Amino acid sequence: MKFAVFDVAGAVHIGLVKGGRVISATSAIPGLPTDTNQVIGRFEEFREQFRALESSADGWLALEDVHLRSPVSRPGKILAIGLNYADHIAEAGRETPTQQIWFIKASSSINGPFDPIQVPKASPNSLDYEAELVAVIGRGGRHISRADAPASVIGFAVGNDVSVREWQSHSPQWSLAKSFDTHSPIGPWITLTDEAPDPHGLDIKAVVNGVVRQHSNTANLVFDVWDQIVYLSQAMTLEPGDVIFTGTPGGVGWLSEPRFVLSDGDVVRIEIDKLGYIEGVCKDE
């Protein structure tokens, strides 16, 4: 099942995607909350109704006729791991971390899968992309074991951990440099775990203006998604709708030879096998 949020005719809908079409759950399921975190948290309650909706004959709209939004409207928190693919660690000239390196991206940086990405006034010449697999927390919890980790997520999506490199060097921690408005696009929808139970072994790519700049496989994560959930949940309760960026492979623009930065008009597409793609155009703020 593929969980999406879209707007059409000025109204926002939670819905399902199947075969290039989308259907509104908001219209079809009485009592469905409008808040995506609540729907994700109470998904089991509604699962049968979603399943019935997915096999419904009528009410489908072509994806081209709607505007897809972030499938989590406002995550409670966005957590992101650094230095988690061997080739990215090598290009950054770093040692393989023995502990997971985490930072927080502001929830307000969330962005739709096909919406513009701002080239910020504060740093117009250091904008970068990072192709990432994103895990979305469903049931969540605290002190989650590795065995229980798969059941704690609702599904997976494609993400771009957009980064303002110059600001990354302002401070020993990266949160502000990773939290500019529009710099956490995710989508195009959440592929739920019934369809994608294991997020490892998926091809992942960043394509900028038609040129492949990152290409790896999620099998190459240093700390895999389940380890990440175990580690994070020792510190904090993972809640429905929380979003986890799981690391980026080698090939980021800032460390490329010659250096590449995103500017107005550049088109950044991130693709992951089975999960689809997101594509944003960079626009001067």
Interface residue list for Zn ion (CB under 5 A):
130, 161, 248
- Per the structure block, which two tokens stand in for 219? 């099998």
Q: Closest separation between CB of residue 125 and Zn ion, Å?
A: 20
Nearest to Zn ion of 78, 192 (CB atom): 78
Q: Closest separation between CB of residue 252 and Zn ion, Å?
A: 9
Q: Closest separation between CB of residue 81 and Zn ion, Å?
A: 7
What H or E segment, with its residue span, contains residue 28? helix 25-28
Contact yes or no for 224/232 (Cβ under 8 A): no
Nearest to Zn ion of 117, 192 (CB atom): 117
Contact yes or no for 162/123 (Cβ under 8 A): no
Give the position of tokens 């979603």: 50
Closest residue to bound Zn ion by CB: 161
Nearest to Zn ion of 138, 159 (CB atom): 159
25 vs 15: CA distance, rounded Å: 5
52 vs 155: CA distance, rounded Å: 19
Q: Closest separation between CB of residue 14 and Zn ion, Å?
A: 27
35 vs 227: CA distance, rounded Å: 29
Nearest to Zn ion of 130, 271 (CB atom): 130
Q: Closest separation between CB of residue 133 and Zn ion, Å?
A: 11
Nearest to Zn ion of 13, 165 (CB atom): 165
13 vs 277: CA distance, rounded Å: 20
